[in-house]
Amino acid sequence: MRIKYTISIVFFVALVIIEKENNIISRVSDKLTLKQTPQTPLQPSGFSHILLKHNGSSTSLGKLDSAFALMKRRLEDYSQHQEAATGGRKHILLLATTRTGSSFVGEFFNQQGDNMFYLFEPLWHVEKMLTLETGGTNATAAVKAYRDVLQRLFLCDFSQLESFIDPLPVDHVTAALFRRESSSSLCEASVCSPFVRGVFERYHCKTRRCGPLNLTMASESCLQKEHRAIKSVRVRQLENLRPLAEDPRLDVKFIQLVRDPRAVLASRMVAFAAKYKNWKQWAMDGEVPIDDDEVRKLKGNCDNIRMSAEIGLSQPPWLRRRYMLVRYEDIARFPMRKATEMYRFTGIPFTAQVKSWILKNTQASKETSGVYSTQKNSSEQGEKWRFTLPFKIAQVVQKVCGPTLKLFGYKFVSSEEMLIDKSISLIEDKVFNFS
């Protein structure tokens, strides 16, 4: 009797899943703009011939097999519909925080070639405008603005971003786009208006001397590209981006880049000296007040990163096969291997152009490895913080960011000798399941 009851339950669940997938497919079909041969959707009544019976006779295994076969076909149909909806395009969102190596890793996609449209930190404008308007970034407003701007940019629509650029573009033309030169896509001939000497002297695009950016031209260029990638350090919680994953027009893959919080703090103390002057003072001659606002901010940053990763690694249905966690330290040690894994995850061909860039830019000399440089000696980069961050500061990070270090596989240090001993690795060999 228990076997019959179990089969009935499983059969019922199969029917529910089929119905759910049918509804999803119908919604996706409604949004398709591609010219296709009209197909008649399978109506709920299409399942009316498959009924559970509770009059004493058990549900046949044959019917159960048929139900699962039908479910499989519906799932395949859904995949085909989504592929048609996105035109086969992939949308990559590289999520990180400052000083995690995101500019360097973003180049893995920026260097892809003519089939990739890459944007570097477009949300900088949103954060700046919201801060100016409110005297500080309003979390609720920022969440919605970040999400909406990212969604429009993935669809090659710059209009929403344009409203945050200061000064406001005139006739969709701006000379104020943040770090435009960091996007190869915005330096191509198709979007590179003539350079006006003496007026926009500081705006350069690699070796090309470009004038102000025409955002309409940028949009048209974006539409011609096969794939789109965006790098951002301003999204605090992955959960807030769920509407992007559920938008049938997009095929978004989220790559979360993380780094040892101790290394991040050490890097920020150098790159943002004025903002981190308290930490520098504590490092030199004082005890760290554990209840200080700066320490609480550090803890909040660690908690946000960890919670986002926990959501991603738990693989909820909306993130299934859409989330990948990557440690900067692994990229520093094995750049080609990790780049290969990232490209395999996104479903985009790993081109010879990217491979060449990685080989060239992971063996940089000290002269070319500046604070903001994307040229790094990768074998040394991941470890050098150990010789600049005082042990007492490392202890504070371990205290307030302990759960984050544990989740990502970073080992605690118990003494100054252990901290600076290069023979002791502080990185656990850890595999993060995201498939």
Q: What CATH number does the domain containing 407 carry?
A: 3.40.50.300
Counted domains in the chain: 3
Per-residue pLDDT, 24: 43
CA-wise closest residue to 426 among 259, 256, 308: 259
Rounded CA-CA distance 214/173 in Å is: 4
Together in a domain, 125 and 175: yes
Together in a domain, 322 and 356: yes
Residue 110, C-beta contacts closer than 8 angstroms, at least 6 positions apart: 116, 118, 120, 182, 183, 184, 185, 229
The phi and psi torsions of 428 (rounded to 5 degrees) equal -75, 145
The phi and psi torsions of 431 (rounded to 5 degrees) equal -110, 130
Per-residue pLDDT, 357: 96
Per-residue pLDDT, 3: 44
Structural domain range at position 172 = 119-225
The more confidently predicted of residues 158 and 16 is 158
Rounded CA-CA distance 284/278 in Å is: 10
Percent of the chain whose predicted confidence (pLDDT) is above 90 = 65
Rounded CA-CA distance 241/154 in Å is: 13
* pLDDT tens string 164-202: 999 999 999 999 999 999 999 999 988 987 765 444 444
Together in a domain, 242 and 295: yes
Together in a domain, 207 and 287: no
DSSP string, 357-398: HHHHHSB--GGG--TT-S--BHHHHTTGGGGTS-HHHHHHHH
User: Can you tell me the mean pLDDT for 379-395?
Assistant: 90
Write down the mean pLDDT value for the chain. 81
Together in a domain, 220 and 236: no
Percent of the chain whose predicted confidence (pLDDT) is above 70 = 72
HSE at residue 218, side-chain half, CA atoms within 13 A, is: 27
| 3 state DSSP class of 91 | strand
Place of tokens 């971003």: 161
Together in a domain, 408 and 296: yes
Please, which pLDDT band fits residue 211 given cuts at 50, 70 and 90?
A: confident
Please, which pLDDT band fits residue 85 given cuts at 50, 70 and 90?
A: low
Please, which pLDDT band fits residue 51 given cuts at 50, 70 and 90?
A: very low
Together in a domain, 256 and 283: yes
Together in a domain, 111 and 125: no
Which sign does the torsion angle of CA 107, 109, 114, 118 carry? negative
The more confidently predicted of residues 124 and 434 is 124
Rounded CA-CA distance 291/388 in Å is: 24
DSSP string, 233-298: S----GGGGHHHHT-TT--EEEEEEE--HHHHHHHHHHHTTTTTHHHHHHHHH----TTSHHHHHH
User: Can you tell me the mean pLDDT for 135-141?
Assistant: 76
Report CA dihedral (332, 336, 342, 345) to the nearest 10 degrees. Answer: -140
Together in a domain, 75 and 9: yes
Together in a domain, 158 and 193: yes
Of 86, 103, 130, which one is at a domain's C-terminal end? Answer: 86
Of 171, 201, 225, which one is at a domain's C-terminal end? Answer: 225
Together in a domain, 78 and 174: no
The more confidently predicted of residues 18 and 343 is 343
Neighbours of 21 (CB within 10 A): 19
**pLDDT of 238 over the 60 cut:** yes
**pLDDT of 47 over the 50 cut:** no
User: Can you tell me the mean pLDDT for 57-76?
Assistant: 50
Together in a domain, 82 and 95: no
What type of residue sits at position 173? V
Strand pairing category for 252-258 and 227-232? unpaired
**pLDDT of 100 over the 70 cut:** yes
CA-wise closest residue to 154 among 83, 248, 217, 79: 248
Of 210, 225, 240, which one is at a domain's C-terminal end? Answer: 225
Rounded CA-CA distance 304/296 in Å is: 12
Helix or strand holding residue 64 (H, E): helix 61-86
Place of tokens 């309003």: 138
